[in-house]
Structures are given as structure tokens and as C-alpha cells.
Copies of this chain bind each other. A is one copy, B any other.
């Protein structure tokens, strides 16, 4: 199986959301319909779908249920991915309540914070644990993924800790650029960049 690019992953995920929410009534969907809703070229949509091994039907399009399931398999939505959230501020707690995570195999086990008033409490059914216990828990449960929602000034220090104890993927919601070894992946969820990209589409 050949590697699949991030651009394709992004589009397939959007197709999946479209099937899940926007077109849930229909049993068939045409590539041109998907393309239209997402402002893409329809042949690009067909090529993406072909990567999932799904065949369409002439004059009808793709079977929605089949396509949805194939995207789930291709992107591994049902593989369980255990995650810690570090930083139980507003964003961290908003994420723990994000209902769709569990549909995509993203299993948030706990939140971590260093605020004594928060430690021990629950949020969205998950415990808020002291940051001191992070290293031990990362290595014991063998956590590979963290969501970083701490204030910018704390981001690098927490990162160093997490990496030292075995974290491999850091979903960075802070506006900082993190220094990590080459073996660690940082995904920068930079909201400023998103906004600027949105504004850039003035040329329509």
C-alpha cells in the first residue's frame, strides 16, 4: 500500500464528514456533488476515492455507506489512539468535550494541569491530574500522543518532559514553535495561519 499524502487525508476526512452530516439521507453520491460542495475538481475527488479502493457505479455515483466505511478503514478511524491533554484551560476542556473524537478512535484518557484548584476534579468524565504525574503515566501507559493546550511560555518545558518519557506526536495548539528531536512529530494547529489562509481566498 502506497503512502498517502496529507492533502489526500484532509480531503478524505472532509468527504467523510460530508457523508456523515451533510448527505446522510442519500444512498448514492456522485463525485461531482462532493466536488461541488468542497469546491474541488471532480476528477480529483474520484482519484482520492480510488485510493480507498472503492468503485463507483456508472450514472449513479458511489454507494454512500460503502464509501464512508472505506474512508474509515483507509484512514484508520477505528484504530484506538490514546491521548493525554496537557493544559486544562478553556481550550483543553473544550477539546475533552468534543463529541466526535470517539467516533474517530481518538481516546482522551486524562487532562493534566499544574493548577492545584483544578487537580482532582473531573471534566467531561476525565480526571484532571497533576503535571508532576505526567512522566510516570506517559511511560507506564505508553502514551504516544499529546494535545498541548498550555500557555505559550510553558509549551517548550512541557514538550521536553513529554518527549523525554516517550511521546512521539504532539498536537500543538499553542502559537509557539517547539524544538523536538527528529523522531518526534509536531503538528502545529496554528489558528492564526488558518485565519490568514481563509482571508487569502479573496481571489474567488
Contact = CB atoms under 8 A, between A and B. Distances in A.
A36 to B, nearest CB: 9
Query: In this complex, which of A17, A178, A190 has the most chain B Cβ atoms within 10 angstroms of its Cβ?
Result: A17
Interface string A80-122: 0100000001110111011011001010000000000000000
A175 B190 CA distance: 18
B37 A179 contact: yes
B171 A195 contact: yes
Interface in A14-67: 14, 17-18, 20-22, 37-39
A165 interface: no
A128 to B, nearest CB: 15
A31 to B, nearest CB: 14
B104 A195 contact: yes
B90 A190 contact: no
Given A94-B91, A94-B94, A13 B196 contact: yes
Q: For chain A, what secondary structure do more than half of its interface residues adopt (helix, strand, loop), or is it mixed? A: helix
A136 interface: no
Given A17-B190, A21-B152, A193-B10, A198 B179 contact: no
Contacts of A90: 90, 93-94, 97
Contacts of A203: 3
Contact of A197 (B6, B89, B190, B194): B6
CB-CB nearest 8 A-B residue pairs: A187-B198, A90-B94, A13-B193, A18-B177, A185-B201, A21-B176, A6-B197, A91-B94
19 contacts: A9-B197, A13-B190, A14-B177, A14-B193, A21-B152, A21-B155, A37-B177, A76-B199, A81-B199, A90-B97, A101-B192, A145-B199, A169-B201, A171-B194, A185-B198, A185-B202, A185-B204, A187-B195, A189-B191
Given A6-B197, A17-B192, 4 more contacts: A39-B182, A90-B94, A169-B199, A169-B201
